[in-house]
Amino acid sequence: MTTIENSQPPGGKTSGALLRAMAAPVASALILLFARAVTAVRAVWSNDGPPTRQCVYFANHSSHGDFILIWTVLPPRLRGMTRPVAGAEYWLRSWLTRFIGRDVFNAVLIERERATRTEDPIDRMAQTLDGGASLILFPEGTRNQGDDPLLPFKSGIYHLARSRPDIEFVPVWISNLNRVMPKGEFVPVPLICTVSFGRPLRLRDGETKEPFLDRARSALLSLSPHAGEIP
């Protein structure tokens, strides 16, 4: 257990934890209902259907709701074993985000700030994979708010692949969610979103960082509905 997991206020541990454990399934059902009402979200699976094994889903990132959509379309069995990887400083800033991030989504909270962090994010993700969970990862590292469809990938996904070379990486393209809730808006506009899953890829023997990142990035881009079209 890390310092992040244990950073609960003293005293509120037993009754608070019980209350949160009871509230979490309710909150999860409400979030699923809200996500479906606003986006009528639909999964488009690759020809092989939904993944059957543990894997790392990696997706484009343009909105705070991205992992919620992936989580919504996953079949319940897969959803239960899938944990999003998210920035600790965002999700630990208030009791509500802490409750949603930790108790509802069971997020793997990593410290992004290199200077102040106490634990290596890659180690933490690898340990979570060893525990049997699947991960949702946004390799762009930050929300994409520009006109480029996809930012360059950070190298974390490569280091994770190298430390656990047997794990499959599934590209996931989320479309339209950036129109539902553009940057700086607080009222969502209901629009139909789709979440497209590609074929899994894996680190090849001897594959170095740049080729792997390129391959992963183009696998993800090829799922975008505007692939090959001039924007």
Residues that bind another protein (CB under 8 A): 40, 42, 176, 179, 182, 185, 187-192
Of the pair 165, 225, the CB lying nearest another protein is at 225
For another protein, the closer of residues 163 and 176 by Cβ is 176
Smallest distance, Å, CB 65 to another protein? 15
Nearer to another protein, 189 or 227 (CB): 189
CB 189 within 8 A of CB 142: no
CB-based burial label for 86 (10 Å; 0-12, 13-18, 19+): buried
Query: Residue 197's beta-bridge partner residues?
Result: 172
C-beta of 89 vs 148, nearer to another protein: 148
Least distance between another protein and beta carbon 116 (Å) = 34
Distances (CA, A) of 171 to 164, 168, 186: 17, 10, 28
At its nearest, how many Å lie between another protein and the CB of residue 37?
Answer: 9
Give least dist CB 181 to another protein, A.
9
Scanning the structure block, which residue is given the tokens 């996931």?
172
Q: Cα separations (Å) of 89 from 6, 37, 41, 109, 112?
A: 15, 29, 28, 9, 8
